[in-house]
Amino acid sequence: MFRIIWMCLALLGIVQAQNIQEIISHSLENHNSLKSIEQKLSGFDEEMQLSRNFQNPELSLSIGDIQFAQPLNRSIEPMQFTSLTLKQKIPYFGKRDASSSLVRAQKNVVYTSFEAAKTELVKEIRLTAYTIWEYEQKLAIVKESVELIKANVALANMYSSSGSSRHVESMSMELSLSEMKIKQSRLKSMLPSLYARLSYLAWEEIASLEIEPQADEPKSLQEYLLGLKNNKTYKENLAKTEEKNALVELKVLDSKIDPFVSVAYFNRESFNDYMSVSVGASLPIYSSESLKEQRARKEVLEAGFRSKDVYEKLKSSLHQTYATLLSSYEAYKIIEDESLPELEHMLELAGSMRKNTNNLLLYTGLLEKKLALTEQKISALASYKRSIANIEALLGETQ
């Protein structure tokens, strides 16, 4: 019965464990930070319709020639009237198209910021997940180390009477055991906060992870550099430059006058009614529009310089991250292909000679060295995967 219960609990744990791709997919579909940007994007549909509309017409009611002697008498003379006037401003040709272009450019800025937010979210999920994996693997190594040191302490205590050096060696092991327990406690204390952060990033409760990281040979730096222009932050800055260009086009057209048409109907009580039609326009004689255009052009230059600066910063960041990637990969391969195989061979030799105390202590010492190398391998692999996550974010990856 207990065996069945244990198997059910184990299966439940497997079901709850999630891999990184599942977490990323759920987050991209449900995270509120992305949903808020999506709502902002949808608002541009109405903004686009507004950009095509004329300004609202003006309707006015006038009562002219009110005589103070007889203010209510509206039939004293022909000049007395009651009028209803409708005035409509007509935008200069091309202004509505320019307004629509500006709205499209603004929407593109928000869209690229949305893509940048997705990329950042994916990156943070990967970084947090690989850090959790690293700490959990290290915790398992520390647990093995604690058990091994305890065995060594017991072994040293058995032969402590053979000399003071044995006693000192035993005390040194006790100190190592204390250090390992402190390390174990620190790793345990950090995991809950990391899982809490991952749960926020995933927008769901994450209790366990299923990760089996591999270290594939890195691509060349040049290949990564070719994809750098897909960076979402860089694209967002390019979109801002296009927005400024669209604004310049609108400011250029603002210097063109917008005519208006006014139609009025005049009612007279004792005389014939009549209509009047007026046509007019604003006069841009104070150079305000020209100054606004010049300011908008300077903003285009500013945005262009900022885009170039962002690209150079991204290139520098890619070089630094790639250096970390290579360093981590090389360390991992040295430990995996050279150090650990050599140590395994030494363990086989030492294992065949475990007949006296010295050889037994040598064997357990080699086991400690193996655990230390395994921990370094875990750190190198985690660093490699985090570097890959950073590079993928620089290249605009969202999966």
pLDDT of residue 341: 83
Query: Is there a domain that residue 187 lies in?
Result: yes
pLDDT of residue 176: 66
**Contact 373/347 with Cβ under 8 angstroms?**
no
Return the H-helix or E-strand segment holding 260: strand 259-267
Enclosing domain of residue 325: 15-394
pLDDT of residue 286: 77
Q: Which of 7-11, 97-101, 249-253 has the lowest mean pLDDT?
A: 7-11
pLDDT above 70 coverage of the chain, percent: 85
pLDDT of residue 352: 56
Query: Is there a domain that residue 185 lies in?
Result: yes
pLDDT in tens, 344-368: 777 666 555 555 555 566 666 777 7
pLDDT band at 15 (very low <50, low <70, confident <90, very high): very low
Query: Is there a domain that residue 356 lies in?
Result: yes
Q: Does the pLDDT value for residue 3 go beyond 80?
A: no
pLDDT band at 87 (very low <50, low <70, confident <90, very high): very high
pLDDT in tens, 280-329: 888 777 777 788 888 888 988 999 999 999 999 999 999 999 999 999 99
The CA angle 212-329-343, to the nearest 5 degrees, is 80
Give the mean pLDDT of 375-383. 91
Query: Is there a domain that residue 88 lies in?
Result: yes
**Contact 343/370 with Cβ under 8 angstroms?**
yes
Q: How is 50-107 classified by DSSP, letter by letter?
A: HHHSPPPPEEEEEEE---SSSTT---SSTT-EEEEEEEEE-PPTTHHHHHHHHHHHHH
Positive or negative: CA dihedral 327, 331, 334, 337: negative
> How many domains are there within the chain?
1
pLDDT in tens, 230-269: 999 999 999 999 989 998 888 888 888 888 899 999 998 8
pLDDT of residue 167: 54
Q: Which of 177-181, 263-267, 283-287, 383-387 has the lowest mean pLDDT?
A: 177-181
Cβ-based neighbours of 94, under 8 Å, separated by 6 or more: 253
- When the pLDDT of each residue in the chain is averaged and rounded to a whole number, the result is 83
pLDDT of residue 4: 43
Can you tell me the distance from the alpha carbon of 315 to that of 291, in angstroms, rounded to the nearest whole number? Answer: 37
Can you tell me the distance from the alpha carbon of 325 to that of 323, in angstroms, rounded to the nearest whole number? Answer: 5
Query: Is there a domain that residue 122 lies in?
Result: yes
* Residue 376's CATH number: 1.20.1600.10
Give the mean pLDDT of 125-138. 92
Query: Is there a domain that residue 107 lies in?
Result: yes
pLDDT of residue 389: 93
